[in-house]
Chain A
């Protein structure tokens, strides 16, 4: 049962780039070894926190999009909890929401086509009439 999750976590602001790379690559290897798939890695950069977390006012945000089972998420969250420089993390399941959005989009596209179709027919009709007379 594969599901898509978004894993957002914040590391402490004084963490070096190489250490971040190392952390992300270890997480990625953990994902692939458990049969999952990393879809996207986005570094959102350093930004202000809305409130103080472990005496930090800033944090470096990283967003992972992962496809896999619930057990994989369990393992990733355990790792994040153990990793000391990670000060906060949040996992959100996004596949159902994405499905809903795609459905709405499909409905809207279909509606646009049906509303455009009569106009196209009406546009063709006068074009055909002179051709028939000629």
Chain B
């Protein structure tokens, strides 16, 4: 609406340039996307949203995953804290791998020992869902 009220000369000058700008803006985006895909070494596909703990991938734009424990500064990973541990256990009872959740190596190590301790005392299942 505002463009129509402005003089026709400026409007005609702007209109051809406009389609170019979004196209130019898109290209760097695509470059970033391919960069991110390459950095995380993950096979393509819409499976980014599987990790329950980390921020799930959006439909077309994959956000870089970050370690939940580093971001929220959770240092104590205890076997009694089932609510925390359950976020990193799949429904089958498996420990969700780092590449899906984005947890950093030192925290994943603590996490896996805590999950294994919780399994031993029947707080978490070894396989399948909890009864």
Complex Cα–Cα for A88 and B123 (A):
11
Instruction: Tell me whether A50 and B125 are in contact (CB under 8 A).
Output: yes
Contact flag A92-B124 (CB < 8 Å), given A48-B130, A49-B131, A51-B131: no
Q: How far is the CB of A13 from chain B (nearest CB, A)?
A: 12
B-side binding surface: helix, strand, loop or mixed? loop
Q: How far apart sit A40 and B130, CA to CA, in the bound complex (Å)?
A: 29
Question: Are A48's CB and B121's CB within 8 A?
Answer: no
- On chain A, the residues within 8 Å of B117 by CB distance are 90, 92
Indicate if B76 sits at the interface (CB-CB under 8 A): yes
In contact, A51 and B122 (Cβ under 8 angstroms) = yes
A101 contacts which chain B residues (CB < 8 A)?
75-76
- Given A48-B131, A90-B117, A92-B117, A53 and B79 contact (CB-CB distance below 8 Å): no
Q: What interface size band does chain B fall in? A: 10 to 19
- Inside 8 A of B126's CB, which chain A residues have their CB? 50-51
Given A57-B131, A101-B76, A104-B75, A50 contacting B120 (CB threshold 8 A): no
Using a CB–CB distance below 8 Å, which chain B residues touch chain A? 73, 75-76, 79-80, 117, 119-126, 130-131
Binding site for B on A (CB under 8 A): 8, 10, 48-53, 57, 59, 63, 88-90, 92, 97, 100-101, 104, 108
In the complex, 14 of the A-B residue pairs with CB atoms within 8 angstroms, ordered by the A residue number, are A8-B121, A48-B130, A50-B122, A50-B124, A50-B125, A50-B126, A51-B125, A51-B126, A51-B130, A53-B122, A57-B131, A89-B121, A90-B117, A101-B75
